[in-house]
Amino acid sequence: MRFDLDHKIIFLIITGLMYNEEYLDNKKLEIINYINEKYNERVPRPLRTLVKRKIKKIETIQLDELPLSLRKCTVEELVIIVQEGMKQGKVKL
């Protein structure tokens, strides 16, 4: 009886982990698809090469070198901070 119970518990744990990984993969895929969709909609073809060159710099970002406040803020907070900074003329892009 104990043997069966252990196998059921292990099965539930593995199934749960697989579900979590699948859920995370789906979230990542959803984000990537959104980025690709917006990029295709909003960036004119002639500018895509330039944008691709600039965006490649994301690959070199060292997260541990970013300020803790930036690493800990949510996407919503970051967007609001940048929007407010641009309205006030503090963000120079």
Tens of pLDDT along 21-74?
Answer: 777 788 888 988 898 898 888 888 888 888 888 888 888 888 899 999 999 999
Which pLDDT score is estimated for 76?
A: 93
pLDDT for 28 equals 87
pLDDT at 58: 82
Residue 85 near residue 91, CB atoms below 8 Å: yes
| pLDDT at site 2 | 47
pLDDT of residue 24: 74
Quick one: pLDDT at residue 90? 93
Residue spans per domain, the chain? 2-60, 64-93
CA dihedral sign, ordered 65, 70, 76, 80: negative
Residue 54: both structure tokens together: 């600039």
* Predicted local distance difference test score (pLDDT) of residue 1: 43
